[in-house]
A and B are shown apart, each in its own frame.
Chain A
Amino acid sequence: MVEYSVAQGIRYTREHEWVRVESGLAVVGITDYAAKQLGDVTYVELPPLGKRVARMGEMCVVESVKAAADVYAPLAGEVTGVNTALEDSPQLINSDPYGSGWLVKLADIDQAGLTELMDAGEYRSFIAEV
């Protein structure tokens, strides 16, 4: 059976995004489960800086050879940073999904939305069921 890593201390969506809030900024990525479902990531279409995203609105696209997955914003906010390292090394999403494979930083976020997201334990049971 394939093992999926789940990082502690961050929140998760049912669409397999994770979000970590640090001093008012949200860092967003996709989970190890999502990365493994996709397979080797070949390309990431990052959003333009300054773009406003709604909660669970389409934020960017992660592609493998045979699939293209929309990534949704776990929280409403404004894109203030994107991981440009992914342009040359999209494989970071597979090798380090919760670290150097992050996708987008959001500012001006709606922190209240955080409570509706899963914690690590809840997400672990969620993917066990899927």
Chain B
Amino acid sequence: MRSIFEQSRAGRRGVAFPRLELPAEAWEVAVLPEGLRRAAPAELPEVAEVDVVRHFTRLSRLNFGVDVGTYPLGSCTMKYNPKFSEDLARLPGFAGLHPLLPQLRRGGLLAQGALQVLHDMDLLLCAITGMAAFTMQPLAGAHGELTGIMLMAAYHRDRGNAKSVVLVPDSAHGTNPASAAIAGYKVVPVPSRQGVMHPDDLKPLLNQSVAGMMMTNPNTLGLFEPHVKTIADLVHGVDGLMYYDGANLNAILGQVKPADLGFDIVHLNLHKTFGTPHGGGGPGSGPVGVVEKLVDFLPVSRVGRRADGTLFLDYDQPKSIGYIAPFYGNFGVILKAYAYILALGGPGLKRVAEHAVLNANYLRVRLSARWPLAVDTPCMHEVVLSAAESAQRHGVSALDVAKALIDFGFHPPTVYFPLIVKEALMVEPTETESKENLDELVAAMERIADLTESDPESLHAAPRTTPVGRLNEVEAARKPDLSYRGACFG
């Protein structure tokens, strides 16, 4: 589609801001000296409002979202995003609130509603995970991981521990080792057996240099780690901390609390578990919770309650790791998750986990007839298939299967992850897909399995129903074209 720059015509206007009301002398001084002015105007497009609205409406129609169809993207929990919370986040009392208002003297009293949201969310997330306190500040899941590892470092510094290593299972998301490395740790991978971690594989890696271990449970194969408590005891034995990556919390809401499994630090993805939209890649929100012994290290500020019942922001935290975000997190996202949790309540959240696991296992049973499972055991919220056999026998890779599913009207599963499964197809239906939707997905996967044998070439050519086919990513990477270099037309 033509870019917005190519639709530009010199002199055309969208929104205008007329010069009104000021005395003439104000305009006279409103000019920067020559040496401080940019040489030429930024070549932004010149288009009418109708051009803008049409351009982006057309672009939106080239996109696929949860609002369009089933989106079983493993690890990403693409559940339905309720509409009412979108309205609530836009209430002027929230959207128009300046974040520095509570930092003015008595200003906090003018933001009691917002502080109440943050305070309630802290309590709700504690009840869900068993942690002692949460910070809402991390701006995304990976940002929560970094915060968590910084908390780990602060704990060890406070105890005078010399720690240098963070253990990460080989099935982990890439953000885990990256977060640990950015926070200054050496990353040591822990191998899996039949898809789960075994204490015997951990023992040789444990010593006094271990600061902690990052774990996702259920893990990225959709399996509950049965030895998690033993593993936590071992890590605690060297004064290490257990970090819970909440990517897959959807599977265990109301069934298991990370604190009971021995975890000390937890990050949650509000955009996965608590129904806030993914936004095409963000904004997300990654609150971090900790057990009692780590509360003092949480970032500033924290919401506290005064004797008179009013809420305030507490900046007096001498042991804190400091500021990891400018203010109180992605407040607009936190609000939507708050609305979601209030709507579902305890019983609803429990039903979420039950139906997420029901849907995943239904797919597992139905799909395994034609597609080998990475690990042939019941799963939690997601199931990992392998296209290794079809790749070897018919030259049809996981990527081909994914692209073929697009032509059947589905968003594909996650492919080539976890890394420990060859030709992985990671399917996470979530609880909000109906049985009919799942049956249609199964039918599509069965049809693709047929084509794998009868007409593999047709799968290499997929997708055919999209505005573009498979793009030449090799050329795109060799000769990167990352911005429009042409002039605006007209």
Contacts and interface: CB of A to CB of B under 8 A. Distances in A.
Interface stretch (B220-228, B328-336, B472-480): B472-480
A64 B477 CA distance: 8
Nearest to B392: A1
Interface residues of B, number: 5
A48 B477 CA distance: 22
A91 B478 CA distance: 9
Nearest to B478: A42
Contacts of A39: 474
B421 to A, nearest CB: 15
Contacts of B478: 42-43, 90-91
A119 interface: no
A130 interface: no
Contacts of B474: 39-40, 42, 64-65
B387 to A, nearest CB: 16
Contacts of A91: 478
A63 B473 CA distance: 13
Nearest to A63: B477
A42 B478 CA distance: 5
A40 B479 CA distance: 13
Interface in B456-482: 473-474, 477-478
Interface string A63-87: 1111000000000000000000000
Nearest to B477: A42
Interface string B407-424: 000000000100000000
B473 to A, nearest CB: 5
Contacts of B416: 66
Contacts of A40: 474
Interface in B286-316: none
Contacts of B477: 42-43, 63, 65
Residue from A39, A64, A65, A91 having most chain B Cβ neighbours under 10 A: A65
B482 to A, nearest CB: 14
Contacts of A63: 477
A3 B478 CA distance: 26
A90 B474 CA distance: 11
Interface in A47-68: 63-66
A123 to B, nearest CB: 24
A90 B478 CA distance: 8
A40 B474 CA distance: 7
A72 B2 CA distance: 45
A42 B475 CA distance: 8
A62 to B, nearest CB: 13
Contacts of A90: 478
A58 to B, nearest CB: 15
A39 B474 CA distance: 9
A127 to B, nearest CB: 18
A19 B478 CA distance: 26
A91 B473 CA distance: 14
Contacts of B473: 65
Nearest to A90: B478
Nearest to A39: B474
Nearest to A91: B478
A42 B473 CA distance: 9
A117 B473 CA distance: 36
Interface in A77-107: 90-91
Interface in A14-46: 39-40, 42-43
A14 to B, nearest CB: 19
Contacts of A64: 474
A46 B473 CA distance: 22
Nearest to B416: A66
A90 B477 CA distance: 11
A39 B416 CA distance: 15
A49 to B, nearest CB: 24
A64 B478 CA distance: 9
A65 B399 CA distance: 14
Nearest to B399: A66
B370 to A, nearest CB: 25
B475 to A, nearest CB: 9
A91 to B, nearest CB: 8
Contacts of A43: 477-478
A39 B397 CA distance: 15
B311 to A, nearest CB: 48
A43 B473 CA distance: 13
Interface of B: 416, 473-474, 477-478
14 contacts: A39-B474, A40-B474, A42-B474, A42-B477, A42-B478, A43-B477, A43-B478, A63-B477, A64-B474, A65-B474, A65-B477, A66-B416, A90-B478, A91-B478
Given A63-B477, A66-B416, 13 more contacts: A39-B474, A40-B474, A42-B474, A42-B477, A42-B478, A43-B477, A43-B478, A64-B474, A65-B473, A65-B474, A65-B477, A90-B478, A91-B478
What 5 pairs between A and B have smallest CB-CB spacing?
A42-B477, A40-B474, A65-B473, A42-B478, A65-B477
